[in-house]
């Protein structure tokens, strides 16, 4: 009889612990999920390449995010694959500038080792940013230097060893959601000017840019 009572008490205690865990888990799980990087893809009509969107939550102040955006020299430290940036015209402090960006070539998997190696990618982008209602938005879009009046007479870096990206739309949104907590939403569509058929490699190239750049942002501010 005593054994049955002890077993019953044990089962009741076990049930209480399970219920308590279920009640406490949502808030903990919500916080953990917010700190995870989530990546999604949208297919673009008439394009062989997808648009990738990534989100993560970081712990920092909006002032620190703004300082990061204004420091273009540091972009290669946290933009995955970025080797060089150069302001061509404008001043980031005014909210608008034209920027030259050089990226590493897409990395091919081992089974494509006999395929000609891709070239590094470069591009010229118009960068616009603003802060409104607790949200910092950064938008970058490709421009043709030959057709952009603001770039008239400006020497554009680059040479024949590079492949120039001619279609790119990139955005960063930093949204304050609490005390020193900011949601980061990063979207990127790039046509890397690739003529081959290995689209999986090229789409992974862009997906990795989004995911690993968010990882770098998170590490930079959360450590």
Does residue 186 form part of some domain? Answer: yes
Q: What is the CATH number for 125?
A: 3.30.530.20
Does residue 29 form part of some domain? Answer: no
Does residue 113 form part of some domain? Answer: yes
Low-confidence winner among 19-23, 154-158, 188-192, 207-211 (lowest mean pLDDT): 19-23
Does residue 201 form part of some domain? Answer: yes
Torsion sign, CA atoms 178, 130, 89, 160: positive
Please give the residue range of the domain that contains residue 50: 35-222
**Residue 106 pLDDT:** 84
Q: What is the CA radius of gyration of the chain?
A: 23
Average pLDDT, stretch 34-55?
90
- CA proximity to 209, closest of 45, 54, 34: 54
Does residue 30 form part of some domain? Answer: no
Q: What is the pLDDT of residues 109-140, one digit of tens each?
A: 877 777 778 899 999 999 999 999 999 999 99
Does residue 26 form part of some domain? Answer: no
Question: How many distinct structural domains can be found in the chain?
Answer: 1
Low-confidence winner among 6-15, 89-98, 114-123, 161-170 (lowest mean pLDDT): 6-15
**Residue 98 pLDDT:** 98
Quote the mean pLDDT of the chain.
85
Tell me what percent of the residues of the chain surpass a pLDDT of 70: 83
Average pLDDT, stretch 92-103?
97
Identify the H or E element spanning 12.
helix 2-35
CA pair distance 183, 175, nearest whole angstrom = 5
Q: 85: alpha, beta or left, given left = phi > 0 and alpha = psi -120 to 50? A: beta
Q: Decide if pLDDT at 75 tops 90.
A: yes
Contact of 66 with 74, CB cutoff 8 Å: no
Does residue 1 form part of some domain? Answer: no
pLDDT band at 196; cut points 50, 70, 90: low
Does residue 8 form part of some domain? Answer: no
- CA proximity to 121, closest of 4, 206, 57: 206
CA pair distance 218, 80, nearest whole angstrom = 13
Tell me what percent of the residues of the chain surpass a pLDDT of 90: 65
Q: Decide if pLDDT at 19 tops 70.
A: no
**Residue 33 pLDDT:** 52
């Amino acid at each position: 009889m005593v054994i049955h009572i002890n077993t019953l008490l044990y089962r009741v205690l076990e049930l209480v612990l399970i219920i308590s865990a279920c009640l406490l888990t949502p808030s903990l799980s919500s916080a953990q999920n917010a700190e995870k990087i989530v990546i999604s893809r949208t297919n673009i009509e008439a394009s062989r390449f997808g648009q990738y969107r990534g989100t993560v939550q970081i712990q920092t102040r909006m002032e620190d995010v703004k300082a990061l955006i204004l420091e273009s020299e540091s972009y290669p430290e946290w933009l995955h694959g970025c080797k060089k940036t150069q302001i061509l015209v404008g001043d980031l402090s005014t909210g608008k500038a034209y920027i030259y960006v050089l990226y590493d070539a897409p990395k091919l998997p081992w089974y494509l080792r006999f395929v000609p190696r891709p070239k590094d990618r470069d591009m010229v982008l118009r960068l616009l940013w603003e802060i409104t209602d607790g949200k910092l938005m950064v938008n970058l879009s490709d421009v043709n230097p030959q057709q952009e009046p603001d770039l008239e007479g400006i020497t554009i870096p680059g040479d024949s060893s590079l492949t120039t990206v001619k279609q790119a739309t990139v955005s960063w949104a930093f949204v304050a959601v609490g005390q020193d907590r900011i949601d980061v939403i990063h979207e990127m569509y790039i046509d890397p000017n690739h003529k081959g058929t290995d689209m999986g490699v090229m789409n992974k190239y862009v997906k990795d840019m989004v995911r690993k750049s968010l990882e770098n942002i998170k590490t930079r501010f959360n450590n």
